[in-house]
Homo-oligomer: A and B are copies of this chain.
């Protein structure tokens, strides 16, 4: 029998069970695929985890059954069970919840549709009334918010190792940018070159659709690469990411081709200053709003406050946008200080119609006393 390698999944499940109990629940239905992956290692676009005090049951369909069975062999006996349902996922969920001792099962409200919630609720109710005379208690579904996400925001050691290696590889891609960005080449061609370099660097795939926004298109923070040819005097915003070992990293540089107009040079310099200010503000105990303000205040001082219409950063992990949000948060959301183990982007930008745009983005890990910059690329390439 092969030795069982210690896996990160048992401690993750254990911590979540504590959170579930603390929320006054006795089960949790995990439907968001990255959350399922975090807790089990299961990779698939579908797959549901039913976590009860006694069981950690992965429900996965036919398509993923062989891959899911392999997961189980690497895990301590009984720590993860697999069910491949004959009928649908939701029938299997109802059956698992009913056969558990659960009476209050949390659902991931942000990751469960109204359709599915209503079907599950009415199925659990219908079953209950059909069996009123049995000993089985009914199961109520209780909306929960971000239970798994809150744990995922603080990375454990294997996650930090994956993110560090991913950022190292993405930095290799970034250092090649100058060879892709030349006058006469189209945004689309440059994007294809970047995507090729991402794959050549060992990534599973780009983490999102690569952004190459040249000249006037730079004024659009999420421009899609088009047929426009890079011209002398352009600023070119290049924003790209990769998925490595399941983990996402994300990097932006703004290149100038030839000598751009003075207004764009000034705008770019202001963004650099904002980037440096935000990086310097990252340390344990800093609030996301404070890190965001560090960048925003610089841009405001340069008259570019309105030109910075997005947040300063976002968490990275199994998703390319996850907790924490580094932004001036709406009053309803908690502005919880960052802690060691969090990994997020710092990416201030400025976008002005008629001038163009600039954005600079690096990925940081919060460590005692400050931050560890995982990406390693000169600001100017």
**A residues within 8 Å of B by Cβ?**
43-44, 62-64, 66-67, 87-88, 107, 109-118, 143, 145, 192, 195-196, 199, 205, 209, 219-224, 309-310, 330, 353
Contact = CB atoms under 8 A, between A and B. Distances in A.
Closest 4 CB pairs of A and B: A62-B309, A109-B115, A109-B114, A63-B222
A222 B113 contact: no
A113 B31 CA distance: 12
A145 B43 contact: no
Contact of A114 (B114, B209, B353): B114
A112 B309 CA distance: 26
Nearest to A44: B222
Given A220-B66, A309-B62, A199 B192 contact: yes
Contact of A224 (B43, B143, B221): B43
A3 to B, nearest CB: 23
A113 B205 CA distance: 28
Contact of A63 (B43, B114, B310): B310
Given A109-B114, A110-B116, A192-B199, 10 more contacts: A62-B221, A62-B309, A63-B310, A64-B222, A87-B330, A88-B330, A109-B113, A110-B113, A111-B113, A113-B114
A192 B202 CA distance: 11
B221 A310 contact: no
Nearest to A199: B192
A142 to B, nearest CB: 10
A115 B145 CA distance: 8
A143 B117 CA distance: 11
Contacts of A116: 110
